[in-house]
Amino acid sequence: MKILVVGSGAREHAIVHALAHEADRLGSTPHELHAAPGNPGIAGLAELHVVDQVDGAAVTALATRLGADLVVVGPEAPLVAGVADAVRAAGIPVFGPGAEAARLEGSKAFAKEVMAAASVPTAMAHVCTDVDEVAAAIDGFGAPYVIKDDGLAAGKGVVVTDDRDVALEHARACLDGDGRRVVVEEYLDGPEVSLFCVSDGSTVVPLAPAQDFKRALDGDAGPNTGGMGAYSPLPWVPDGLVEEVVTRVAQPTIDEMARRGTPFVGVLYVGLALTSRGTRVVEFNARFGDPETQSVLSRMVTPLSAVMLAAAQGRLASLPPLAWSDDASVTVVVAAQGYPGAVRSGDPISGVDAAEQVDGVHVLHAGTARSADGVLVASGGRVLSVVARGTDLVEARRRAYEALGRIELAGSQHRTDIAARAAAGEITLAR
Please name the amino acid found at residue 393.
Answer: L
Residue 105 lies near ligand AMP (rule: CB under 6 A)? no
Residue 289 lies near ligand GLY (rule: CB under 6 A)? yes
Residue 40 lies near ligand GLY (rule: CB under 6 A)? no
Residue 209 lies near ligand AMP (rule: CB under 6 A)? no
Q: Which of 353, 311, 285 is nearest to 107 (CA)?
A: 285
Question: Of residues 192, 218, 244, 347, which one binds ligand AMP by CB under 6 A?
Answer: 192
CB of 213 to ligand AMP, least distance (A): 9
DSSP 320: P
Q: Which of 301, 343, 304 is nearest to 323 (CA)?
A: 301
Please name the amino acid found at residue 249.
Answer: V
Stretch that binds ligand AMP, among 180-188, 196-204, 386-394, 402-410 (CB under 6 A): 180-188
d(CA 341, CA 8): 20
Give CA angle at 178 (174, 179), nearest 5°.
75
Question: Of residues 232, 262, 285, 294, which one binds ligand GLY by CB under 6 A?
Answer: 285
Q: Which of 60, 279 has the CB closer to ligand AMP?
A: 279
Residue 155 lies near ligand GLY (rule: CB under 6 A)? yes
62-100 as b/e, with b when 16 or more CB fall inside 10 Å?
Answer: bbeebebbbbbbbbbbbbbbbbbbbbbebebbbbbbbbb
For residue 160, the partner it binds in ligand GLY, ligand AMP, none, with Cβ less than 5 to 8 A by kind, is: ligand AMP
Q: Which of 60, 413 has the CB closer to ligand GLY?
A: 413
Q: Which residues contact 176 (CB under 8 A, 6 or more apart)?
A: none
CB of 183 to ligand GLY, least distance (A): 16
Residue 290 lies near ligand GLY (rule: CB under 6 A)? yes
Q: Which of 81, 310 has the CB closer to ligand GLY?
A: 81
370 beta partners: 376
For residue 308, the partner it binds in ligand GLY, ligand AMP, none, with Cβ less than 5 to 8 A by kind, is: none
Site string for ligand AMP, 138-167 (x = CB under 6 A): --------x-x------x--x-x-------
CB of 248 to ligand GLY, least distance (A): 21
DSSP code string of 65-106? HHT-SEEEE-SHHHHHTTHHHHHHHTT--EES--HHHHHHHH
Q: Is 368 helix (H, G, I), strand (E, B) or coil?
A: strand
Residue 185 lies near ligand AMP (rule: CB under 6 A)? yes
User: How many angstroms separate the Cα of 102 from the Cα of each of 7, 65, 147, 383, 399?
Assistant: 16, 26, 21, 26, 36
Q: Which of 392, 207, 414 is nearest to 294 (CA)?
A: 207
Task: Give me the sign of the Cα torsion angle 290, 296, 301, 302.
Answer: negative
Q: Which of 32, 192 has the CB closer to ligand GLY?
A: 192
CB of 52 to ligand GLY, least distance (A): 22
Contacts to ligand GLY by CB under 6 A: 155, 212, 226-227, 285, 289-290, 292
Contacts to ligand AMP by CB under 6 A: 123, 146, 148, 155, 158, 160, 185, 187-188, 192, 214, 224, 271, 282-283
